[in-house]
Amino acid sequence: MAMLGGAPLLARCLLTATSIGGWEGMLSGSAQGLACHSMRGSHIALMATARPSDRGLQVEQLVAVVDAGRLVNPAIARQQVEGGLIFGLAAAVGATTDYEGGVATARKLGQLGLPRLSQSPEIVVEFLDSDRDPGGLGEIGVPIVAPAIANALFAATGRRIRRLPLVAAPV
C-alpha cells in the first residue's frame, strides 16, 4: 500500500479486493496473490487464489475490483472485465496461437484454447461507485492475471515464477 501513495483510486481497488476475497496477508501456504494495474483512466486490482495440484496449476478464484469512473452500461462493463480475465488466464497458462508468415494460425475463437466454463475459476467482479468520467475497460482485465497468479503460487510454494506460461512447478 505504501507504494500506492500517489494512486488513491488504485489503492482503494486493492483494499476492496482484499476485503471481498478474504486476503490472508501473504501467509505461507495461503495460495493468494495480488496485482493491480491502471490504464485508460480505469484502475483494477485482482486477488487470485491458485495452487499446484496433481492436475497441474489449479486457479480457484479471481476477485477483481474496478474503478472505471461512471459506468454507462454496467452489464456490458462486467462482461468486458470477465472476458479480459478469461483471456488473461488463457495467456498466463499458455493458450495461444502460432504464427506462420506473420499471420495467426488460429482463425476462429474456438482454436485459441480458451478455458471452458467447467475449467474456469470462480470469478467475482465488483465496480466501485464513481462520478469520474468513464474510463476504458477494453482490455483492463488481461495484463493483471498472470502476476496475480504468479504471486499466489509464490505464497503457496515459496518459489517465484518469472516466466510464462505459468506452471505449477517451475522448470
pLDDT of residue 44: 98
| Given the residues 24, 60, 126, 139, the one annotated as active site | 139
pLDDT of residue 133: 96
Question: Alpha-carbon torsion 152, 158, 164, 166, what sign?
Answer: negative
DSSP H helix total and E strand total for the chain: 3, 6
Task: Quote the cell numbers at residue 71.
Answer: 459506468
Average pLDDT, 10 consecutive residues per value, the chain (171 residues): 89 96 84 95 97 90 97 95 94 84 84 81 97 93 96 92 81 36
Phi, psi dihedrals of residue 161, rounded to the nearest 5°: -110, 125
3-state secondary structure of 164: coil
Topology of the domain comprising 10-18+31-95+106-157: Aldehyde Oxidoreductase; domain 4 (3.30.365)
139 is catalytic: yes
pLDDT of residue 169: 65
pLDDT of residue 55: 83
Task: Quote the cell numbers at residue 117.
Answer: 466454463
pLDDT of residue 171: 36
Domain boundaries, the chain: 10-18+31-95+106-157
Q: What is the pTM of this model?
A: 0.90
